[in-house]
Amino acid sequence: MMRTRPLKVALLGCGVVGSEVARIMTTHADDLAARIGAPVELAGVAVRRPDKVREGIDPALVTTDATALVKRGDLDIVVEVIGGIEPARALITTAFEHGASVVSANKALLAQDGAALHAAAEEHGRDLYYEAAVAGAIPLIRPLRESLAGDKVNRVLGIVNGTTNFILDKMDTTGAGYQEALDEATALGYAEADPTADVEGFDAAAKAAILAGIAFHTRVRLDDVHREGMTEVTAADFASAKEMGCTIKLLAICERAGDGASVTARVHPAMIPLSHPLASVRGAYNAVFVESDAAGQLMFYGPGAGGAPTASAVLGDLVAVGRNRISGATGPGESAYAALPVSPMGEVVTRYHISLDVADKPGVLAQVATVFAEHGVSIDTVRQQGKDGEASLVVVTHRASDAALGGTVETLRKLDTVRGVASIMRVEGE
């Protein structure tokens, strides 16, 4: 039987995502009511610019006083889509204090203060859901913390930023340089006027922190995630990747150590084999590859950003939280019982592709190989090309620690026969 008293929902933010949430709540009102078991009423919308025309939203619901809105005391759910750290953090905790559960799409805040927000939700007996914070419309948070709750997740490897994937895909398929591909992404609306958060990996790092925390039942903060941007990736890197049967993606990688005693979380460009499922992810799409003991290998794929896709994830959380409100229950909260240490990047073990500019004369290859051996880094393949006294030397290693590789490169730079290190890239997905 459907409850007649509606669930009251406040919306914080009415931009690209917020306006889509409001639209779907209105156009799909009957379906949402049937799925939840009660009507859903939009009780207020907090915005910065109240004079802007918002189609389908009663102007009487619009306010610039977000704090007063979440303090009303009669709200069931607060949907936060304003982003950033403050005032979002204060508004969410205030909502809990005044009896509302929260649905958020705020990856930066959750990566930085997720533990405190979960604690506040638990203290007040309320829900905190955030499916939209990681991969837009792609169901990922709920499968990790519910569907795979009985399994042991060992690795999460993914493309979690559509802007960077679009740029790298253009460089790969058309031979465009980084700036040319970025300009196209900006013209098409995939990249912001200031793309720093995307291309320097900040966005992906926040998502990696959230994914690692859920997958490994361990608190992982944004500061724990090693981050490298993709602005230095060149057409020459893609040429080298193709020679190895690979392409290049900006990856978020979260994994357990081999002995299970620690975890790592990192974001950086990497070569991946064309045979890997992530290699075929094109354009602005996202995909996440999950490896677990019992389920094996799973892949989640779809649009990772945009108003409608992100709103889809928000509304999915809204339905789940609404059902909990009606039944008097709460969904799963933070699971951090494992409390595994997060290892530094220096301990991460992977393969490397190193391109060196060297003197084209006898003995150089032997000299370089000796340096690798002295640092305990085993070489898999070497390719050398040169003329007129200059040469390019490409070395692909077996698996080695980041610290060992760093020491190797530092020593190589001191050799008279090494003119420079053209590029260093990790090789993943094997």
Residues 395 and 369: their CA atoms lie apart, in Å, by: 9
Distance, CA of 134 to chain centre: 5
pTM: 0.95
Confidence of residue 249 (pLDDT cuts 50, 70, 90): very high
> Residues, the chain, total?
430
**Packing angle between helix 162-174 and helix 235-243, nearest 10 degrees?**
70
The answer on pLDDT for 151 being more than 80 is yes
What totals of helices (H) and strands (E) does the chain contain, helices first? 15, 17
pLDDT at 251: 98
Q: What is the pLDDT of residues 98-128, one digit of tens each?
A: 999 999 999 999 999 999 999 999 999 999 9
**Packing angle between helix 202-216 and helix 107-123, nearest 10 degrees?**
40
Helix (H) or strand (E) holding 400: strand 400-401
Residue (of 427, 379, 429) closest to 243 by Cα position: 427
HEC string for 61-77 = HEECCHHHHHCCCCCCE
Residues 120 and 133: their CA atoms lie apart, in Å, by: 19
Helix (H) or strand (E) holding 103: strand 101-104
Cα atoms in the 13 Å half-sphere on the side-chain side of 414: 6
pLDDT at 389: 65
Distances (CA, A) of 292 to 97, 157, 255, 277, 297: 37, 12, 11, 16, 7
Residues 301 and 288: their CA atoms lie apart, in Å, by: 7
Distance, CA of 2 to chain centre: 38
DSSP 19-56: HHHHHHHHHTHHHHHHHHTS-EEEEEEE-S-TTS--TT
Beta bridge partners of 426: 270, 352
Residue with tokens 């500019």: 357
Residue (of 230, 177, 237, 221) closest to 201 by Cα position: 230
The answer on pLDDT for 276 being more than 80 is yes
The answer on pLDDT for 361 being more than 90 is no
Q: What is the pLDDT of residues 185-239, one digit of tens each?
A: 999 888 999 999 999 999 999 999 999 999 999 999 999 999 999 999 999 999 9
Phi first, then psi: give them for residue 115, nearest 5 degrees.
-65, -45
pLDDT at 387: 63
pLDDT at 1: 65
Q: What is Dmax (Cα atoms) for the chain? A: 86
Please provide the average confidence, as pLDDT, over all residues in the chain.
95
Q: Is 36 left (phi over 0), alpha (psi -120 to 50) or beta?
A: alpha
Residue (of 391, 393, 389) closest to 379 by Cα position: 393
Confidence of residue 391 (pLDDT cuts 50, 70, 90): confident
Residues 6+ apart with CB under 8 A from 39: 2, 4, 6, 7, 29, 33
Task: Name the catalytic one among 8, 107, 207, 249.
Answer: 207
Q: Give yes or no: 71 in active site.
A: no
DSSP 172-203: HHH---HHHHHHHHHHTTSS-SS-HHHHTSHH
pLDDT at 189: 87
The answer on pLDDT for 170 being more than 90 is yes
Name residue 156's amino acid.
V
User: 3-class DSSP state for residue 204?
Assistant: helix
Q: Which of 34-43, 54-63, 148-157 has the lowest mean pLDDT?
A: 54-63
The arithmetic mean of pLDDT across residues 144-159, rounded, is 96
pLDDT at 319: 98
